[in-house]
Amino acid sequence: MRIELCWPLTLFAPAKLNLGLEVIGRRPDGYHEVVTILQTVSLFDRIELTPSAGLEYQPPPGIADDLVARALDELSRRGIEIAARIRLDKQIPIAAGLGGGSSDAGTLLGALAIAGVPRALIDEIASGLGSDVPFFVRGGTALATGRGTELEPLPTSSGWFVVVVPRLHLPDKTRRLYQALEPGDFSDGSATRAQAERLRQGLPLDPELVRNPFIRALEAYPEVRQAAEALREAGAHWIWPTGAGPALFAVTGDFSSARDVARLVPPVTRAFVCTTVSGRINDERVRRFVHIRG
């Protein structure tokens, strides 16, 4: 199977927030059992594809484990030939809990599924790349359970957030923070499931139902404490990590409130104003620009 482009194509790969994340306990396979709501938001990496005789891709500098390169390798191994020059423009901060690498791979795989690559093959590759990658194949809003790959799509409600990214680098971050969890950090998932039920009913996000057990371990780092304090001083009330952090997000009522909070955050901390983004944002352009042979 050969994927060809009719014209240049830009895919938008959105960041995600965890609108509630509860860890139930450790699974027999070594992963942790989680209940979380994943939500794509309007902070994007861009994947730029231009027609080419064959596949050309060079991973951006500074990425130790490039999931796009791994996805392309898996596609090639299964006989999927992509005739395109691919360039990845990174805007989502790396290793911050915002899912940028997973989104890049999932967005590309999702575009190929829309173009006609068998969905079962796409889902198999996505699952093998990482827990968040299957979610990004479709994006939008989903309740994720198990190790984060069992997905139930949910309605996307409107919402505005301020995301701040402390200037903190934690090598092997996810493993370290999961290891730092204590018995009191575990819960039964009921708050996040209640939030999911609100979304099913078309109700807005309830900030009081948001949970994330990593906040305790993250607050041991002064950079995280300072970022949280900056948000509070700017007027934010509901502040949580996304994923295992260290990025934090504040729930706000509307764009104006989010903008005002972001303007008051000191420039030493990166701040982004984001809104919720529904799934399949690239589908229409993919259908018009991509052609499959074989």
| CATH number of the CATH domain containing 17 | 3.30.230.10
216 and 124 both lie in a single domain: no
Centre a 10 Å sphere on the Cβ of residue 288 and count the other Cβ atoms it contains. 11
Bond preceding residue 155 cis, omega within 30 of 0: no
Mean pLDDT of 227-251: 94
With bands split at pLDDT 50, 70 and 90, how would you rate the model's confidence at 294? low
120 and 197 both lie in a single domain: no
Is it the case that residue 277 has pLDDT exceeding 70?
A: yes
133 and 56 both lie in a single domain: yes
259: Cα separation from own chain's centroid: 22
Mean pLDDT of 250-270: 91
Q: Which residues belong to the active site? A: 16, 132
Q: Which residue has the higher pLDDT, 1 or 241?
A: 241
80 and 184 both lie in a single domain: no
89 and 181 both lie in a single domain: no
76 CB-near residues (< 8 Å, 6+ apart): 55
Give the number of residues written for the chain: 294
**Known binding residues for ATP:** 93-103
Per-residue confidence (pLDDT) for residue 28, from 0 to 100: 83
Tokens 């299964």, located at residue = 78
Residue 79 and residue 159: Cα distance in Å, rounded?
A: 41
23 and 128 both lie in a single domain: yes
130 and 269 both lie in a single domain: no
The answer to whether the CB of 68 falls within 8 A of the CB of 88 is yes
Residue 11 and residue 285: Cα distance in Å, rounded?
A: 9
Tokens 């994720």, located at residue = 144
Mean pLDDT of 114-119: 93
In terms of Cα–Cα distance, which of 105, 99, 13 is closest to 59? 105
**Known binding residues:** 93-103
Q: Which domain, by its residues, includes 249?
A: 160-275
Per-residue confidence (pLDDT) for residue 271, from 0 to 100: 94
User: What is the number of structural domains in the chain?
Assistant: 2
9 and 112 both lie in a single domain: yes
With bands split at pLDDT 50, 70 and 90, how would you rate the model's confidence at 267? confident
77 and 173 both lie in a single domain: no
Mean pLDDT of 213-241: 94
246 and 283 both lie in a single domain: no
90 and 17 both lie in a single domain: yes
Centre a 10 Å sphere on the Cβ of residue 258 and count the other Cβ atoms it contains. 24
**CATH code: domain of residue 252:** 3.30.70.890
251 and 190 both lie in a single domain: yes
At position 145, the amino acid (one-letter code) is T
Q: What percent of the chain has pLDDT over 90?
A: 80
With bands split at pLDDT 50, 70 and 90, how would you rate the model's confidence at 135? very high
The answer to whether the CB of 162 falls within 8 A of the CB of 252 is yes
Per-residue confidence (pLDDT) for residue 169, from 0 to 100: 84
